[in-house]
């Protein structure tokens, strides 16, 4: 997919014609967002927080071999894809694994939005090679494929049987995940998203067993992302942060990571694309992806993801691009009923302060998401991605069965979901 970048706006304190100053995103976010206080009517509950062991920083890829060895690996399966095979990272990682005394088997067959039959083929490769640990090197699709293989390695059967929550019957093999993009958060999450090719939809598999044992984030890997993928995954991270913060399952631990990720994406996504040679924006986008992943795997997500999964499954479209189109519409829908949760989000985005009314803050969040999507060249409508009015009824119907809809802050009927899809056309 080719995304069309718009010329960057001229940032001024005053345009000389009496217009208010345009909000300026900070070049980076170094502080901590103001704490989000729970409304008094919300009772405090015990919060669980799932997270893997995390290795983060330039050169961290060298630690993957030692991590796999500690997990008992002898013949690890290295899951990647054709795009990563054309970069130096697969061979570098394989070298680190061999230096640790391991004999890796490389499987590079997954495609974007991994398919059910691809997971089955990956499991056959795992079984035939006598593998013992899964190592995923790639974006969210690769990591989801590796998780799917792990599920089948432990349980057998068809990957579609695991749709829902905690459906794995047996402990799965240990996993080390290494993201090559800055957005999906799959390396720290309890999610696995797989395309059901018979129904042309995506299924959501959730379970604490899917949280990898080790996550290795090396920001060097982001240098080989094409611009469109950097834009798509960055908007995915932003969607994770926003939906996790307003989720009905949020808690103080997830709130902190969600708000920090929102500010980091807002302040660094454009610069990470325009100034690839600069280390700081790339490092901060890697951190944004990590923190957004920690937030959403514990708070879950909302309607934007529930809807996006259906569009991606039906038309095999880039997940983050679809999120960029849908999120402003979902924010406006939610903010009409629960605007107060969007006030801290608007402040993290730099589009509101303590005097901004809650509803206005929610609308400002939606506008800023759309403005950022414009800057990185994401289409404004689903129609530009190939979605038609004829697709809407089935998209709305399947959205109602997506697990992410359960934690959306506002309940939605089939008619309301259809209205959202039509507004996004």
pTM of the model: 0.90
pLDDT above 70 covers a percentage of the chain that reads 90
All domains in the chain, ordered by first residue = 53-221 (3.40.50.1970), 225-424 (1.20.1090.10)
Spell out a b/e string for 12-24, using b for 16 or more CB atoms within 10 Å of the CB, else e: eeeeeeeeeeeee
Tell me the average pLDDT across 251-260.
96
Which residues lie below 8 Å from residue 155, measured CB to CB, with a gap of 6+? 162, 168, 169, 170, 172
Question: What pLDDT, on a 0 to 100 scale, did the predictor assign at position 1?
Answer: 58
Q: How distant is the alpha carbon of residue 164 from its chain centre?
A: 18
Which residues lie below 8 Å from residue 127, measured CB to CB, with a gap of 6+? 153
Question: What pLDDT, on a 0 to 100 scale, did the predictor assign at position 100?
Answer: 97
Question: What pLDDT, on a 0 to 100 scale, did the predictor assign at position 47?
Answer: 82
Q: Is the pLDDT of residue 224 over 80?
A: yes
Q: Is the pLDDT of residue 250 over 60?
A: yes
pLDDT digits (tens, 9 = 90+) for 353-390: 989 999 999 999 999 999 999 999 999 999 999 999 99
The DSSP annotation for 314-368 comes to: HH---HHHHHHHHHHHHHHHHHTT-GGGHHHHHHHTTS--TTS-HHHHHHHHHHH
- Give the model's confidence band at 3: pLDDT under 50 very low, under 70 low, under 90 confident, else very high: low
Tell me the average pLDDT across 121-134.
98
CB 421 within 8 A of CB 319: no
Question: What pLDDT, on a 0 to 100 scale, did the predictor assign at position 11?
Answer: 32
Question: How many angstroms separate the Cα of 246 from the Cα of each of 84, 112, 254?
Answer: 34, 28, 10
Provide the token pair at 405.
Answer: 């809809």
pLDDT digits (tens, 9 = 90+) for 54-109: 999 999 999 999 999 999 999 999 999 999 999 999 999 999 999 999 999 999 99
Question: What pLDDT, on a 0 to 100 scale, did the predictor assign at position 48?
Answer: 83
Question: What pLDDT, on a 0 to 100 scale, did the predictor assign at position 334?
Answer: 98
């Amino acid at each position: 997919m080719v995304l069309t970048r718009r010329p960057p706006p001229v940032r001024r304190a005053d345009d000389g014609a009496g217009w208010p100053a345009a909000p300026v995103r900070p070049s980076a976010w170094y502080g901590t967002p103001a704490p989000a206080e729970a409304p008094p009517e919300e009772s405090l509950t015990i919060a669980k927080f799932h997270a893997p062991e995390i290795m983060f920083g330039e050169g961290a890829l060298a630690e993957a071999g030692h991590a796999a060895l500690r997990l008992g690996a002898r013949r690890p399966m290295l899951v990647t894809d054709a795009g990563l095979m054309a970069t130096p990272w697969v061979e570098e990682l394989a070298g680190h694994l061999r230096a640790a005394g391991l004999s890796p088997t490389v499987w590079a067959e997954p495609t974007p939005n991994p398919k059910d039959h691809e997971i089955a083929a990956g499991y056959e490769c795992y079984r035939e090679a006598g593998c013992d640990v899964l190592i995923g090197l790639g974006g969210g699709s690769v990591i989801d494929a590796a998780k799917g293989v792990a599920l089948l390695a432990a349980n057998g059967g068809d990957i579609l049987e695991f749709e829902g929550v905690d459906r794995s019957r047996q402990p799965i093999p240990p996993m080390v995940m290494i993201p090559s993009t800055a957005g999906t958060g799959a390396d720290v999450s309890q999610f696995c998203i797989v395309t059901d090719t018979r129904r042309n939809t995506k299924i959501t598999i959730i379970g604490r067993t899917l949280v990898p044992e080790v996550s290795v984030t090396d920001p060097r890997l982001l240098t080989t992302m094409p611009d469109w993928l950097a834009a798509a995954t960055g908007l995915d991270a932003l969607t994770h942060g926003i939906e996790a913060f307003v989720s009905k399952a949020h808690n103080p631990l997830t709130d902190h990571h969600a708000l920090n990720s929102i500010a980091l994406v807002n302040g660094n996504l454009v610069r990470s694309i325009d100034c690839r040679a600069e280390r700081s924006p790339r490092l901060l986008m890697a951190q944004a992806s990590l923190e957004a992943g920690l937030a959403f795997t514990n708070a879950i997500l909302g309607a934007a993801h529930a809807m996006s999964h259906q569009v991606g499954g039906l038309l095999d479209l880039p997940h983050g691009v679809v999120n960029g189109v849908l999120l402003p519409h979902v924010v406006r829908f939610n903010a009409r009923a629960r605007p107060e949760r969007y006030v801290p989000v608007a402040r993290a985005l730099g589009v509101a302060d303590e005097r901004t009314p809650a509803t206005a803050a929610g609308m400002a969040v939606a506008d800023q998401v759309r403005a950022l999507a414009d800057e990185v060249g994401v289409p404004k409508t689903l129609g530009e991605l190939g979605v038609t009015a004829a697709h809407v009824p089935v998209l709305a119907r399947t959205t109602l069965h997506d697990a992410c809809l359960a934690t959306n802050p506002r309940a939605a009927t089939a008619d309301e979901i259809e209205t959202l899809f039509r507004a996004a056309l």
